[in-house]
């Protein structure tokens, strides 16, 4: 697929021929992928010959410049973190890295020239090319990685032995671990905020956290974490626990701990998660606290589930919600970013037939599959660099609580997952107002409580403009805030660390870009802005109460047994 550098002496005479051959080889590669057909892609490759000639001439010039730099021992332009070590400046390895980067740029430029009529097809092709280019980097292979070779020599081969052990452990777990399974223990190192499980059913446990102040706001806070991961992303270590910080601000905090679904629960549906999950949790919180108006917060898919549950309650006439906070949440799935390249009718139909109950067959969707998929959306940052460091160099990943949580996924019941996939990523009809959930029409206009919507600027899972559009579906007063960084680090950003920045604007125009133009940047964490907003909807302070109530006494200490299943 790539031009052969050995032909550089003939390029001036053979440029049109070589450009044509590269284009044809690229076409064969694209046609071999099941996402595309030869008939559909044929018009894409009608690229003007003069443009191909120019690309090839540019390639030839850059290759000549690289050759000159090698001959004169000048530093090579390896502006890529994969080749940052000084060993990559040695002529043999440096030429491989430089050639790889040049070929990668050439192919990306070539794909940009293709006449692809729709954005979805272009996103899919760019994704496939990004995956292929990331996979063939010389840093990924022992013979062409000078750092790994040096480590092998210096360690007498033990680095390779350790790398093989890491590989075997990951194969056993069915996932590429970015953090070792023995780095942390949930309940000892993470999820240590004191509290008690005060309710449980087959889908979730409800944790009521012990107060950290003498007085608390009268309206409690119910947190709905994503169902595809464990809840403790919001309760990591004490210094970066959003739960603990909320308690220290004087809020009475309840949190749902979703169960890791086993085969016996494989038949559960999206409606079950709404009615027997969130609506049941809200009813329990109201009973324990004695307050009808509960403040609710949902993170990612937890925010989607929460919004659907509140819309169901609104359709039933229950609008008594104090406030709604949505963290990096989709309601409008018009632009799903790179995740959307995976979802089409063929995939959804296959899932419905195999695990979704369409043919009477129920199964579970493995959380590891979702985790691996999300990692591959950023192949160089979350996939191949761990392959290199763990398997080629034999290094144990440094302990990192967020990455440990990222590897601690949960399974979902097939019908629930398939319903979500079809009505969000595929059909985007959650927002239609015509979809039925729990016996009523699902209409987000029924969510009329004040809303705080947070997005993350570099989020590759929920693009921030999509989070903005999602918030517009809610009909109460709305505040939108944009945090820096990505889907996880943009949310878990405690103020004491004084990291990153966030943007606010008192107005909420129709356009996300118009909002950005009017916004003001602030240094540090968005947490302080949220706590100030939440306090306005939390009521008066009163003496703090212990966990649970006479009707719902503590069943076991937090974090509970569901999170360790």
- Residue-wise pLDDT for 461-509, tens only, equals 999 999 999 999 999 999 999 999 999 999 999 999 999 999 999 999 9
E strand segments, 366-518: 412-413, 436-437, 440-441, 451-456, 478-483, 501-504
Q: Which of 98-112, 334-348, 359-373, 542-556 has the lowest mean pLDDT?
A: 359-373
Residue 63: predicted pLDDT: 87
53 vs 193: CA distance, rounded Å: 64
Task: Kindly state whether residues 295 and 418 are assigned to the same domain.
Answer: yes
Q: What is the 3-state secondary structure (H, E, C) of 233-282?
A: HHCCCHHHCHHHHHHHCCCCEEEEEECCCCHHHCCCCHHHHHHHHHHHHH
Residue with tokens 């192919």: 107
**Domain check: are 109 and 222 in the same one?**
no
- State how far the Cα of 244 lies from the Cα of 538, in Å rounded to an integer: 17
Q: pLDDT tens across 311-368, in order?
A: 999 999 999 999 999 999 999 999 998 888 888 999 999 999 999 988 888 999 988 7
Whether the predicted pLDDT of 18 surpasses 70: no
* pTM of the shown model: 0.90
- Concerning whether 438 is annotated as a catalytic residue, the answer is no
Same domain, 12 and 83: yes
Is there a domain that residue 167 lies in? no
Q: Say if 384 falls within a structural domain.
A: yes
Residue 267 belongs to a domain: yes
Last residue of one domain, picked from the residues 140, 164, 184: 140
Number of compact structural domains in the chain: 2
User: Of 107, 140, 173, which closes a domain?
Assistant: 140
Q: Is residue 287 part of a domain?
A: yes
Of the candidates 296, 300, 308, 547, the residue annotated as catalytic is 300
Residue 470 domain boundaries: 195-564
Domain boundary residue, one of 98, 114, 140:
140
pLDDT of the residue at 20: 54
CA distance 443 to 447: 8
Are residues 312 and 459 both part of a single domain?
yes
Check: CB of residue 328 under 8 Å from CB of residue 462: yes
Query: Do 419 and 514 share a structural domain?
Result: yes
What per-residue confidence (pLDDT) applies to 215?
98
Q: Is residue 155 part of a domain?
A: no
Looking at the structure, tell me whether residues 107 and 245 fall in a common domain. Answer: no
Based on the number of CB atoms within 10 Å of its own CB, is 324 exposed (0-12), middle (13-18) or buried (19 or more)? buried
Same domain, 134 and 221: no
Is residue 213 very low, low, confident or very high in pLDDT (cuts 50, 70, 90)?
very high
Pair (283, 415) in one structural domain: yes
- pLDDT band for position 21 (cuts 50, 70, 90): low
CA distances from 39 to 25, 36, 42, 54, 395 (A): 16, 9, 6, 28, 47
> Considering the domain boundaries, does residue 159 fall inside one?
no
Tokens representing 349 are 């139909």
Radius of gyration of the chain (CA): 26
pLDDT at position 338: 84
Least confident of 25-29, 173-177, 209-213, 285-289: 173-177
**Residue 442 Rama label (left phi>0; alpha psi -120 to 50; beta):** beta
Q: Which two tokens stand for residue 160?
A: 């390779």
Strand partners of residue 412? 365
Mean of per-residue pLDDT scores for the chain: 91
**209 in the same domain as 126:** no
The answer on 509 and 420 residing in a single domain is yes
Residue 313 shares a structural domain with residue 424: yes
Residue 404 lies in a domain: yes
Q: Please report, for the domain that includes residue 422, its CATH number.
A: 3.40.50.1820
pLDDT value, residue 264: 95
- pLDDT of 540 reads 96
Residues 202 and 338 in one domain: yes
Locate the DSSP E strands across 347-445: 364-365, 412-413, 436-437, 440-441
């Amino acid at each position: 697929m790539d031009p052969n550098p050995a032909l550089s002496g003939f390029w001036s005479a053979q440029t049109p021929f070589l450009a044509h051959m590269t284009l044809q080889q690229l076409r064969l590669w694209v046609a071999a992928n099941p996402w595309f057909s030869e008939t559909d892609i044929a018009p894409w490759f009608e690229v003007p010959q003069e443009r191909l000639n120019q690309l090839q001439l540019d390639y030839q010039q850059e290759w000549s410049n690289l050759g000159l730099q090698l001959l004169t021992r000048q530093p090579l332009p390896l502006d890529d973190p994969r080749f940052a070590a000084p060993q990559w400046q040695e002529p043999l390895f440096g030429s491989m890295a430089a050639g790889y980067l040049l070929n990668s740029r050439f192919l990306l430029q070539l794909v940009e020239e293709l006449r692809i009529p729709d954005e979805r097809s272009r996103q899919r092709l760019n994704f496939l090319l990004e995956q292929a280019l990331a996979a063939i980097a010389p840093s990924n292979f022992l013979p062409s990685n000078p750092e790994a070779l040096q480590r092998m020599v210096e360690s007498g081969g033990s680095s390779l032995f350790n790398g093989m052990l890491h590989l075997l452990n990951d194969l056993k777990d069915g996932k590429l671990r970015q953090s070792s399974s023995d780095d942390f223990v949930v309940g000892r190192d993470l999820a240590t905020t004191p509290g008690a499980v005060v309710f449980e059913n087959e889908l979730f446990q409800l944790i009521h956290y012990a107060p950290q102040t003498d007085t608390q706001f009268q309206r409690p806070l119910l947190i709905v974490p994503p169902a595809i991961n464990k809840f403790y992303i919001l309760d990591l270590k004490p210094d970066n626990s959003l739960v603990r910080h909320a308690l220290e601000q004087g809020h009475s905090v309840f949190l749902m701990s979703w169960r890791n679904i086993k085969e016996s629960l494989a038949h559960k549906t999206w409606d079950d998660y709404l009615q027997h999950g969130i609506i049941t949790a809200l009813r329990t919180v109201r009973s324990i606290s004695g307050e009808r108006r509960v403040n609710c917060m949902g993170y990612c898919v937890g925010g989607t589930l929460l919004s659907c549950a509140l819309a169901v309650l609104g359709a039933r006439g229950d609008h008594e919600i104090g406030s709604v906070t949505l963290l990096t949440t989709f309601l409008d799935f018009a632009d799903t970013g790179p995740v959307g390249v995976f979802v089409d009718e063929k995939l959804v139909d296959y899932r419905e037939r195999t695990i979704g109950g369409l043919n009477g067959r129920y199964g579970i969707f493995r959380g590891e599959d979702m985790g691996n998929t999300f990692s591959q959306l950023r192949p160089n940052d979350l996939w191949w660099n761990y392959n290199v460091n763990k398997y080629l160099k034999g290094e144990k990943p440094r302990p990192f609580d967020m990455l440990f949580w990222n590897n601690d996924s949960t399974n979902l019941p097939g019908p629930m997952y398939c319903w979500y996939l079809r009505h969000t990523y595929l059909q985007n009809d959650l927002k239609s107002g015509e979809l039925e959930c729990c016996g009523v029409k699902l209409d987000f206009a029924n969510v009329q409580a004040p809303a705080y919507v947070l997005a993350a600027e570099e989020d590759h899972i929920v693009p921030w403009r999509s989070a903005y559009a999602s918030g517009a579906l809610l009909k109460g007063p709305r505040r939108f805030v944009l945090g820096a960084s990505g889907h996880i680090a943009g949310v878990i950003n405690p103020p004491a660390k004084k990291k990153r920045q966030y943007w606010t604007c008192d107005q909420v125009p129709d356009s996300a870009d118009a909002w950005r133009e009017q916004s003001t940047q602030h240094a540090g964490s968005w947490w302080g802005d949220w706590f100030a907003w939440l306090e306005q909807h939390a009521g008066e302070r009163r003496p703090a109460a212990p966990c649970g109530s006479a009707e719902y006494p503590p069943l076991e200490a937090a974090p509970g047994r569901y999170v360790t299943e």
